[in-house]
């Protein structure tokens, strides 16, 4: 492959990647109906909530109860009636054990109803103990009797696991007193947080950052920073249709079936690449008549980030997987095609490591006609350089005539000056689609290959106890192999074109080192693909170099 072609390929891919990453991940996007942004603190005022006004059921030993199905298990504590652990399983799971989706260290607990705004849950740790009223394999109903300012009422919670990783949470309030019961604490009746963690802090990597968004006729991202804007730590949205927190492989969706509520997103425990996001619903103040009962139903999806599963539950969930702006109409079919090719290969070889290698080969063969066409076009252009130089010497004083003669020369030699660029541009959608398919396939979670323990994590062999800026504390072998392969690939090109040796010096070392930093903390599955793709590119280069180009006299 011609060295000019290689340079254009890497530079074009690099510039396009940086542009898309900046526009998609870093440029801040306005959120609809955002009431409170990052770092903003509500005006300090005396809260109407007093813990002394409540009488909770206490001095009881807490018990953990599990509800489960074949693919899901949830542990619920009688202290506060809240979720304390969540596990999921399925055919996609490559590990021997269910996947834990409750890695979190923040003070909030999913399903933990507390009276007043969400912020009060950080202040007060006291909770009422619940009695188990009903228990089946996949459903549990808990209840507790409360007293507020001498008025008694019952609070019930019903958790039921449904099909396709769904959980139904229903909250019941019943006024058992003979007078009205008003629940109004700073304008809120109660709040319910939802917090799940998809991996531990040690497993976090730069290719799998947690994100949050909500849906109100269209998807809106929240808690997003920018190049010159710090990431918010709190955002409020009024009554969205649903909200979600996800990484590349797993997702939690909160879909309340009630309106007139406020949703909150909190960023907790932010450390380098790691962070925890808490979603919450806040209900406005309510008044219950004597004997009145009210209920609030919420559906949760806690499971793999699978477009096939989620689109079956709600077609609106497909928007989570859409490409930005006008790219979706042609990028999505390519993504579906790549996804099915990868899964067909995986079904045959039974190894996702081998699947990535074979997928790289298939893609290279599919794109080879474009690579050959680009290489031939560039070779022809290079062969015309002596003739172009003569034209410049002869017609340099007349730019108009020079352009005319150059155009005639290209036409005579049947050379398109842009012929080397178009095939490269056609390959970019494939690169970006492959990145998404390989980084988002939940089937790679827990997949092992050679020394790699998990293809969704860096292939860390050991850690070094150092704290020096820009120096990694982990030793990852695969990015180093990738860099060596890239340098070897560049050196081959410099040997074939000694005249451009100084120019090749930058390409030989600068770009591979740049990619080394980019890929160092990336999932090993992506690094494996890029490494194998470079090996196949070296082979392709050698084949293309044997192509003879005839030049007219």
How do residues 459-511 score in pLDDT, each as one tens digit?
888 877 766 565 666 788 998 998 898 888 877 766 665 545 555 666 677 77
Cα–Cα distances (Å) from 20 to 27, 174, 299, 521, in that order, read 10, 53, 34, 20
- Cross-strand pairs, 303: 251
Q: In whole angstroms, what is the distance from residue 200 CA to residue 86 CA?
A: 14
Q: Are residues 318 and 354 in the same domain?
A: no
Residue 301 lies in a domain: yes
Higher pLDDT, 140 or 328: 140
What pLDDT does 468 receive?
Answer: 57
Give a three-class secondary structure readout of 96-136.
CCCEECCCCCCCCCCCCCEECCCCHHHHCCCCCECEEEEEC
Report yes or no on 552 lying in a domain: no
If asked whether residues 213 and 111 sit together in one domain, one would say yes
* Same domain (yes/no): 336, 405: yes
CB burial of residue 474 (10 Å; 0-12, 13-18, 19+): middle
Chosen domain end from 267, 297, 322: 322
Q: Which tokens go with 516? A: 């080394």
Query: Is there a single domain that holds both residue 362 and residue 501?
Result: yes
CATH number at residue 245: 2.70.98.90
| Residue 493 belongs to domain spanning | 3-20+327-544
265, 295, 322 - which closes a domain:
322
**Into how many domains does the chain fold?**
2
Give the residue among 151, 132, 123 at the shortest CA–CA distance from 81: 132
Q: 304 and 351 in one domain? A: no
Q: Given this model, what pLDDT does residue 551 score?
A: 57
Question: Do 126 and 112 touch, CB atoms closer than 8 A?
Answer: no
Q: What digits encode the pLDDT tens for the residues 313-364?
A: 999 999 999 887 777 788 888 888 888 899 899 889 989 999 999 998 998 8
**Same domain for 241 and 361?**
no
Contact 197, 85 (CB under 8 A): no
- Residue-level length of the chain: 553
The Cα-based distances of 443 to 26, 27, 109, 249 in angstroms read: 28, 31, 28, 8
The answer on 308 and 171 residing in a single domain is: yes
pLDDT digits (tens, 9 = 90+) for 168-211: 999 999 999 999 999 999 899 999 999 988 877 666 655 567 88
Q: Does 38 fall in a domain? A: no
pLDDT at position 469, please?
60
Q: Are residues 341 and 308 in the same domain?
A: no
The pTM of this model reads 0.80
Residue 539 and residue 413 in one domain: yes
Rg of the chain taking only CA atoms, in angstroms: 30
Choosing from 288, 322, 356, the residue where a domain stops is 322
DSSP-derived secondary structure letter, 84: E
Residue 25 lies in a domain: no
Residue 304 shares a structural domain with residue 341: no
């Amino acid at each position: 492959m011609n060295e000019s072609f290689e340079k254009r390929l890497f530079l074009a891919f690099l510039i396009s990647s940086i542009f898309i990453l900046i526009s998609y991940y870093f440029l801040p996007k306005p959120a609809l109906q955002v009431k409170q942004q990052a770092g903003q603190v509500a005006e300090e005022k005396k809260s109407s909530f007093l813990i002394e006004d409540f009488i909770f059921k206490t001095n009881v030993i807490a018990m953990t109860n599990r509800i489960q199905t074949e693919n899901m298990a949830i542990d619920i504590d009688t202290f506060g009636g809240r979720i304390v652990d969540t596990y999921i399983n399925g055919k996609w799971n490559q590990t021997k054990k269910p996947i834990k989706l409750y890695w979190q260290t923040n003070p909030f607990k999913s399903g933990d109803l507390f009276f007043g705004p969400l912020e009060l849950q950080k202040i007060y740790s006291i909770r009422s103990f619940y009695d188990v009223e009903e228990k089946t394999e996949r459903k549990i109903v808990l209840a507790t009797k409360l007293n507020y300012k001498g008025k008694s009422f019952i609070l019930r919670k019903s958790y039921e696991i449904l099909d396709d990783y769904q959980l139904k949470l229903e909250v019941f309030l019943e006024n058992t007193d003979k007078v009205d019961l008003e629940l109004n604490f700073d304008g809120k009746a109660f709040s319910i947080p939802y917090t799940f963690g998809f991996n531990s802090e040690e497993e976090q990597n730069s290719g799998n950052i947690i994100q949050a968004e909500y849906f109100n006729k269209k998807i809106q991202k929240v808690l997003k920073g920018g190049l010159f804007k710090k990431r918010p730590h709190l955002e409020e949205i009024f009554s969205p249709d649903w909200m979600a927190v996800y990484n590349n492989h797993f997702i939690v969706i909160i879909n309340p079936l009630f309106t007139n509520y406020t949703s909150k997103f909190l960023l907790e425990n932010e450390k380098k690449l790691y962070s925890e996001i808490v979603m919450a619903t806040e209900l406005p103040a309510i008044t219950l008549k004597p004997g009145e009962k009210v209920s609030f139903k919420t559906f949760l999806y806690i499971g793999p980030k699978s477009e096939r599963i989620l689109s079956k539950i709600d077609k609106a969930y497909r928007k989570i997987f859409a490409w930005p702006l006008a790219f979706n109409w042609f990028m999505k079919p390519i993504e579906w095609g790549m996804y099915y090719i990868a899964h067909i290969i995986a079904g045959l070889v039974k190894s996702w490591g081998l699947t990535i290698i074979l997928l790289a080969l298939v893609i290279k063969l599919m794109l080879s006609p474009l690579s050959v066409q680009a290489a031939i076009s560039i070779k022809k252009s290079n062969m015309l350089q002596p003739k172009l130089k003569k034209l410049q010497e002869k017609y340099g004083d007349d730019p108009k005539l020079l352009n005319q003669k150059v155009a005639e020369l290209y036409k005579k030699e049947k050379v398109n000056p842009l012929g080397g660029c178009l095939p490269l541009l056609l390959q970019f959608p494939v690169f970006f689609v492959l990145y998404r398919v390989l980084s988002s396939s939940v089937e790679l979670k827990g997949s092992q290959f050679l020394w790699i323990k998990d293809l969704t994590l860096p292939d860390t062999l050991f850690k070094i106890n150092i704290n020096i800026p820009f120096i990694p504390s982990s030793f990852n072998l695969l990015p180093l192999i990738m860099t060596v392969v890239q340098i070897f690939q560049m050196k081959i090109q410099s040997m074939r074109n000694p005249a451009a040796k100084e120019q090749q010096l930058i390409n030989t070392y600068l770009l591979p080192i740049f990619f080394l930093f980019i890929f160092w903390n990336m999932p090993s599955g992506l690094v494996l693909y890029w490494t194998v793709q470079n090996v196949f590119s070296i082979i392709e280069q050698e084949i293309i170099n044997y192509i003879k180009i005839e030049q007219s006299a």
